[in-house]
Amino acid sequence: MPQLVGKQVGPTGYGLMGFCTKNPPTPKEQAFKAMRAALESGANFWNAGEFYGSPDWNTQKLLAAYFKQYPEDAEKVVLSVKGAFLFPQMIPDCSPAGLKRSIDACLADLDGTHKIDIFEPARIDPKVPLEETLKYLEDEYVSKGIIGGIGLSEVSAATIRKAVKITKIAAVEVEISLWATHTLENGVAEACAEFGIPLIAYSPIGQGMLTGQIKTLDDLAADDFRRHYPRFYPENFHLNIQLVSELNELAKKKGYTPAQLAINWVKSLSKKPGYPTVIPIPGATTAERVKENNVDIDLTSEDLKKIDETLKKFEIAGRRYPDAVPIDG
C-alpha cells in the first residue's frame, strides 16, 4: 500500500472537484453516497481545492458537511487541498499573505472537521521566489502541525529538484493519462522516483475523453468548459478521438470499461523500473461510477505492450490548457 505523509492510502485516490464545479452542484445526498463508496472501495486519499466551487459551496464545505454526518470517516481520509490561486484572474499568489489567506479560508470551510494533510500551491508563482513560498509553509504551517505536508502541482523536473533542497515534498500532482504522457517523458517522473516522491495523477481518464462516452463534439454541452481546451477544438478533436477509439477497442476486447483500462494503466506505472509510486485520482459523482473506477485490473505485459504500441502511433494535438492557464511543467 502506498503512503502519503506517513499514512497508508489506497492505490486509487478520489478527486472531488466535480461535486461543486457544475451548475447546479451535485445534490448532497448523492455526493455523500459517492464519498462513502470511495472509502468502501479503499480510495481514502481525497483531493480537494479552494477554488473547486464557490465561496458559498466548495469541496471543503462539502467535506465539512460530510464529516459532520459521518464523523467516524474523518480519521480514514487523507486529504490534499490545492490553493493559493486566484481563479478569476487565473494567477497564483504564493506570497506569504496569499498562502495565509488561502489556507485560512480552507480551514475555515473545513470547520474543524478535518486537517489538511497536504497543501498544494496550485501553480508556481513566478513573482515569488520558490524558497520564500516553501519556507513559509514549512515554518508557519508544517512545523506547527497545522498542515501535514507540502505538495507541488503542475511543476517541472527543475522545480522539483529545486524544491527538495528547500524542504520535504510530500507529493507532486500532475496530469497523467493515456492522452497526457508528457510527465513520463519530461523528467518529472524521473525526479520523483529519485527523491521518493509519490506522483498524484489527476485526470487519469483524460478529462472524460477516455470513458468512451464522448465520440463527437456534439456529445459536449454548448457550455461545457472543455470546449475551451485546445485538445477539444474542432481541428484537434478529430485527430485525438482516433487514439481514444483504438484504446476503447482494446478495453472492449479485454472485457473492461475504457475508464477501467485508463485508470489501471496509470496504476501500472508504479511497477515500472525507475518510476515512483503513481496514484490516480479519478473523479466521479455517483457511487456506481466510483465503484467502477476502483476495480483493480492486473494488466498483463502483453496488454501493456499493445497499449504502448497504440500510443506510439498517435501524437495528441493541442495544448492541455488554454493559453491563459499557467503551466510550469
DSSP SS3 for 279: strand
pLDDT at 328: 62
Residue 299 to residue 211: CA distance in whole angstroms: 18
Asked if residue 329 has pLDDT above 60, the reply is no
Would 319 be classed as within a structural domain?
A: no
- 486509487: which residue's cell? 12
CATH of the domain at 213: 3.20.20.100
The band of 114, judged by pLDDT with boundaries at 50, 70 and 90, is very high
CA distances from 43 to 37, 165, 195 (A): 9, 31, 25
Would 328 be classed as within a structural domain?
A: no
Would 325 be classed as within a structural domain?
A: no
Would 275 be classed as within a structural domain?
A: yes
- Based on the number of CB atoms within 10 Å of its own CB, is 218 exposed (0-12), middle (13-18) or buried (19 or more)? exposed
Would 111 be classed as within a structural domain?
A: yes
Q: Which of 90, 80, 36, 278 is nearest to 176 (CA)?
A: 278
**Domain count for the chain:** 1
Q: Which three cell numbers stand for residue 7?
A: 499514512
At residue 298, φ and ψ (nearest 5 deg) are -90, 95
**Interval 127-180: pLDDT, tens:** 999 999 999 999 999 999 999 999 999 999 999 999 999 999 999 999 999 989
Burial string for 282-304 (b: 16+ CB within 10 Å, else e) reads bbbbebebbbbbbeebebeeebe
Catalytic residue among 14, 52, 202, 256: 52
Residue 39 to residue 34: CA distance in whole angstroms: 9
Would 39 be classed as within a structural domain?
A: yes
**Interval 16-72: pLDDT, tens:** 999 999 889 999 999 999 999 999 999 999 999 999 999 999 999 999 999 999 999
At 118, the amino acid letter reads I
Q: Which three cell numbers stand for residue 216?
A: 463527437
Asked if residue 327 has pLDDT above 80, the reply is no
Residue 237 to residue 216: CA distance in whole angstroms: 8
The mean pLDDT of 295-303, rounded to a whole number, is 92
66 is catalytic: no
Asked if residue 87 has pLDDT above 70, the reply is yes
Report the Cα 27 to chain-centroid distance in Å. 22
Query: Cβ–Cβ contacts within 10 Å for residue 112, how many?
Result: 10
215: containing domain: 7-312
Asked if residue 224 has pLDDT above 90, the reply is no
Would 203 be classed as within a structural domain?
A: yes
pLDDT at 189: 97
Would 1 be classed as within a structural domain?
A: no
Q: What is the pTM of this model?
A: 0.94
Contacts of residues 129-137 at CB distance under 8 Å and 24 or more positions apart, as own/partner, are 130/159, 130/162, 130/163, 130/166, 131/166, 132/95, 132/96, 133/94, 133/95, 133/99, 134/163, 134/166, 134/167, 135/166, 135/167, 136/96, 136/99, 137/99, 137/167
